[in-house]
Each structure stands twice: as C-alpha cells, then as structure tokens.
Amino acid sequence: MDLSAADVVGELKVLRKGRAIFTTPLGDRVGPALRRTCGILEDDDTVEIRRKIANRLRPLVETLPEDLKIALLGAFALDEAARKPFYQERVRWAAITLDRDERTVRRRIDDGIEQIAAMAVAAGRQQSPSPYPSRSWHTEELRVSLALDQPVAEVFEIRRVVADADEISELDLALTLTTAADSGSSVSVADLEVDVFHGGVLTRREMESSDRVGLALRLPAPLRRGQRHDIALRFRARLREPHYVCVPRHPCELFDLHVRFGDQVPERIVMLQKAFQNDARDRFPRGTALTADDAGEVHVQFRHLAPGFAYGVRWDSSEAAGVHSH
C-alpha cells in the first residue's frame, strides 16, 4: 500500500500534542505512516524513535520559509528553547518569536505540516532499493565515535546489521591501520586492541594484509533473512596516518562519524566521499572542508556507501594517524 501524505499529516497532528517528540513512551503516539517515513523499527525504544523522528523532520523543516520553520520547530519541540510540556505553550513561544498572534501561528503550523508531509512522501517514492545488493549481510547503520584527545586513540563503533540470507552466524569485519608508503613501519595484530561490548564473541583476529587486521565475530544465534542485529565494539590503536574512513566490504546504508580532536584541532579537515582508498593517504586530498565546533569535534554522515570506496575524514596533523573500518 502506497504511503499517503494525508496519513502522515494526521499522525503529525497527533504527535504535536503534549510534549511532542519528548512524550514518554513515544512509540504509542507514532502510527504506521510515521514509522515508515522515519524508518522506525518494531523493537526501537523511545530514545531511538525520538532520534529517528528528529533526524527525519528537522531537514524537512529547515527547507521551509522562516515563519513556517519556526512554527514547526516549536510545534514538535525540535528547538531546545521550545521544549515546553504543553502544545499551547510552544504555540505561544512561536508567536512571540515571530511577533504574530497565536491563531496565525496555528495556521502556519498546519500549513507547514502539509508541506513536510508531501515532501516526505515524495522522497520516499523516489528512494530505490540499495544499488549494492548483498548475498550474506549488510550494514543498516554504522555509528562511530573517534576520540583523538586520549593517550591512545579510541573508537566506539555501534553497528546494526541485516541478514540477506538465512543462517548468518558470523560477521567478517576488519580494520586497516594504514601506514605511509615510505615509513618503513609495519602493523601487527598486537597494534589493535578490540573489546566487544555486546552482540557476539570475537573468535578470530589475524592479519589479512600488511596493514589490515581481520576480525571474526560469532553471533549469539544465527540470523534469519531480514533479521537485524546490533553489535557494539571498542578499538584502541596508535594511528599511523591522519584519517579515519569506512571502506565497506559489505553494503552500508548509513555511516555516521564523530571525530573529537579536543584542544588540538588541525588547521585543515576534509571530508572524503566515495574516494579511492589510496586517496585517503594523499597529503592534499580533494574534498569538502570541515570546521570543528566549539568542542573540537566534526560530524559527517554518508548514505548508500559503495563497497570498496572510502568515506570519512582526513586532517592535517604533525602526528600521523589513520584507520579504515570495513
């Protein structure tokens, strides 16, 4: 059955009541149209549902004219200043912000809801199946936090995988600790510390090449086709080149990367997208320039990653550091 804009409108008007996206439990307020629009899964908890709704609605709201944008930021409590417990209070906040009466703001909210619902449905119809099909498993979400302001660089990786066949009992993962071609240094298994926080048991760790460490993660139980599974890992390593990229060996729908530099923010930070692996080592790579925030962090996100290509961040640094996640 096709997704209806009218259904999305109706569910958004229900969602805006009370505390809006900060309602608890939130799942009871989210109907099938919004679940489909926002990619909400049956076993998602309130925090995950809230994150997915906010990530879906905010980009749509940001495309609207300023008055409609402010009205909807208030209606759904998407703006921190508008996180008030009652819908009426958020309408009042928007009215004061826009210097309009509350009746006008209510009309703006209804108008804005109609527009973002239409955009969400249109975007959903344009989406096609993954251009990189898999015969075993693929990554639905890969969320990585890299902390470079630690004595040894630490990576926290949370990954949701989906089985594309029956009886998937093991995941083949890898990390590449790249070294400069002229450095003369080599990598060993001992250079990479790995901790499994949840989702399986590490059964194999071996060198697959001169700088790539292969990992095998045995799952708690075999997955059936279409079944999802979450894993959480932590890596520690002395990085050799100034970059962190994901080079998927299996299809990856979403890669979300936070890099924390802390007080030592490099002068130049570049986003790499669908780059050749060797380009990650280029001292002057082509890519979108990034600016760290006041916490010394950058955040990038990629969708529908092509296996074999590099996606991530490279920076200028006197201390070389680099990792490829697969």
What's the total number of domains in the chain?
A: 2
- Same domain (yes/no): 46, 101: yes
Tell me whether residue 132 is in a domain. no
- Same domain (yes/no): 196, 171: yes
The pLDDT of residue 13 = 95
pLDDT at 140 over 60: yes
As a whole number, the mean pLDDT across the chain is 85
CB 64 within 8 A of CB 85: no
- Quote the CA–CA distance of 243 and 278 in Å, as a whole number: 11
- Same domain (yes/no): 111, 245: no
Its domain, for residue 109, covers 5-126
CA 113, chain centre distance (Å): 25
pLDDT at 73 over 70: yes
**Residue in the block written with tokens 């009215």:** 95
The pLDDT of residue 87 = 96
The pLDDT of residue 324 = 59
Q: Does this model's pTM top 0.85?
A: no
Q: Which of these three, 126, 151, 168, is where a domain ends? A: 126
CB 240 within 8 A of CB 183: yes
* Tens-place pLDDT, residues 38-47: 888 777 889 9
The pLDDT of residue 181 = 45
Q: Six-digit token pair at 65?
A: 């004219």
- Quote the CA–CA distance of 273 and 320 in Å, as a whole number: 20
Tell me whether residue 258 is in a domain. yes
- Same domain (yes/no): 171, 70: no
pLDDT at 201 over 50: yes
* Tens-place pLDDT, residues 174-194: 877 755 444 455 667 777 889
Q: Six-digit token pair at 153?
A: 């660089």
- Quote the CA–CA distance of 143 and 160 in Å, as a whole number: 9
Taking the CB of residue 127, how many other CB atoms lie within 10 A of it?
8
- Quote the CA–CA distance of 28 and 90 in Å, as a whole number: 21
- Same domain (yes/no): 205, 67: no
* Tens-place pLDDT, residues 254-265: 999 999 999 989
Name the most confidently modeled range: 93-102, 220-229, 259-268: 93-102
- Same domain (yes/no): 151, 294: yes
- Same domain (yes/no): 148, 266: yes
Give the pairing of strands 212-223 and 192-198. unpaired
Select the more confidently predicted residue: 23 or 190.
23
* Tens-place pLDDT, residues 97-125: 999 999 999 999 999 999 999 998 887 65
